[in-house]
């Protein structure tokens, strides 16, 4: 088994080193375990990792030639700083124009893009298409605010502090408390939907925070700011998007097109006369043109394109 690369000296340089290693597309479980071991070994390591994440957020959209001095002045060796900035650029976090705003989300994905983020406690946060998230780890709680879109959260024990802090997901409708779990949260205009893969979560609405509803593995629940729905059996394919898949089992074509449209820039719609046709299958969301072509081959429909960004499925 090959040895891990030699580590830099300072805590901050080590944090940048781990950031590069975990985001270069080739990280395996052995490296993630080594990173978690390093992270838990000292509060200084956790602070350094949090600082790198903060720098990453602050440098979103900053050109490389402006961002490089920020990292080097922070005490990061120039070679590592450049390497980390190249990773930022590959992830779409540094660009040709400076557009940083204090209103920007801590983590975001574009339409059609998915992202994975390793948080300071070792939890894994997946962002689906067109998603915005804020992350705040304070002294009493670990808070993830879902501002738009959909996430999957695979939680890790809070080993960075003596007294474990609760891990919460906040939406405009209420809060979800993780109970050592793996779960999916989707924010809609009218409600939030949570689906639990492992263990359980506890859900509270904003208007009635004293009332909690427990949702177990294999269950899903919808809630708005005023009331909680009843737990229902979960769609086992709810989190297939983390693998780039959209799985439909006897869906209405209208519902399928609405879901596919989330992954495609521009306007994609379905004519009412074909909306009740049924669709089943597993589709790759990274190529919506291929999905539409598949539909025309299997259903009595055609795809009418007014432009690349205005498409309609018709009889």
Where do runs of H (alpha helix) occur along 23-98?
29-40, 43-58, 64-73, 78-90
pLDDT at 79: 55
Would the pLDDT of 3 be above 60?
no
Task: For residues 283-311, give the mean pLDDT.
Answer: 92
pLDDT at 286: 92
Greater pLDDT, 297 or 157:
297
Give the Cα-Cα-Cα angle 101, 112, 25 (nearest 5 degrees).
85
Q: Which of 32-46, 61-75, 151-165, 174-188 has the highest mean pLDDT?
A: 174-188
pTM (predicted TM-score): 0.69
Provide the pLDDT for residue 162: 76
Report whether pLDDT(129) > 50: yes
CA angle, residues 219, 281, 273, in degrees to nearest 5: 100
pLDDT exceeds 70 at position 304: yes
Please give the pLDDT value at position 23: 61
Return d(Cα 219, Cα 225) in angstroms, integer: 20
> What per-residue confidence (pLDDT) applies to 260?
97
Each residue's pLDDT tens digit, 252-292: 999 999 999 999 988 999 999 999 999 999 999 999 999 99
Rounded CA gap, 44 and 47, in Å?
5
Architecture of domain 244-314 in CATH? 3-Layer(bab) Sandwich (3.55)
Band the pLDDT of 1: cuts 50, 70, 90: very low
Q: What is the largest CA-CA distance in the chain?
A: 66
Phi, psi at 157, each rounded to 5°: -60, 145
Q: Which fold has domain 103-239?
A: Jelly Rolls (2.60.120)
Contact 193, 222 (CB under 8 A): yes
Among 7-21, 153-167, 238-252, the minimum mean pLDDT is found in 7-21
Q: pLDDT tens digits for 22-56?
A: 765 566 778 877 887 888 777 778 777 777 766 66
- Would you list the domain boundaries of the chain? 1-96, 103-239, 244-314
Average pLDDT score over the chain: 82
Pairing of strands 124-127, 132-137: unpaired
Q: Do domains 103-239 and 244-314 have the same CATH topology?
A: no
pLDDT in tens, 65-124: 444 455 555 545 555 555 555 455 444 444 433 333 334 688 988 899 999 999 988 899
């Amino acid at each position: 088994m090959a040895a891990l690369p030699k580590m830099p000296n300072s805590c901050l340089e080590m944090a940048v080193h781990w950031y590069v290693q975990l985001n270069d597309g080739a990280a395996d479980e052995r490296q993630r375990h080594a990173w978690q071991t390093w992270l838990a070994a000292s509060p200084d390591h956790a602070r350094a990792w949090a600082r790198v994440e903060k720098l990453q957020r602050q440098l979103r959209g900053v050109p490389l030639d402006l961002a490089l001095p920020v990292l080097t002045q922070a005490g990061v060796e120039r070679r590592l700083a450049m390497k980390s900035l190249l990773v930022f650029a590959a992830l779409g976090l540094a660009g040709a124009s400076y557009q940083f705003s204090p209103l920007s989300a801590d983590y975001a994905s574009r339409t059609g893009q998915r992202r994975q983020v390793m948080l300071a406690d070792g939890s894994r946060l997946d962002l689906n298409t067109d998603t915005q998230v804020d992350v705040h780890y304070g002294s009493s709680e670990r808070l993830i605010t879902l501002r738009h879109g959909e996430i999957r959260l695979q939680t890790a024990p809070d080993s960075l502090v003596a007294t474990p802090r609760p891990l919460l997901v906040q939406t405009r409708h209420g809060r979800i408390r993780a109970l050592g779990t793996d779960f999916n949260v989707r924010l809609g205009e009218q409600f939030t939907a949570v689906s639990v893969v492992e263990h359980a979560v506890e859900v509270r609405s904003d208007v009635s925070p004293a009332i909690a509803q427990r949702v177990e593995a294999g269950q899903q629940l919808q809630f708005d700011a005023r009331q909680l729905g009843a737990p229902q059996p979960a769609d086992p394919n709810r989190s297939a998007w983390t693998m780039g898949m959209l799985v439909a089992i006897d869906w209405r074509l209208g519902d399928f097109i609405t879901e596919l449209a989330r992954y495609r820039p521009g306007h994609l719609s379905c004519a009412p006369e074909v909306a009740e046709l049924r669709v089943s299958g597993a589709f790759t969301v990274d190529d919506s043109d291929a999905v539409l072509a598949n539909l025309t081959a299997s259903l009595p429909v055609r795809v009418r394109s007014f432009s690349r960004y205005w498409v309609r499925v018709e009889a």
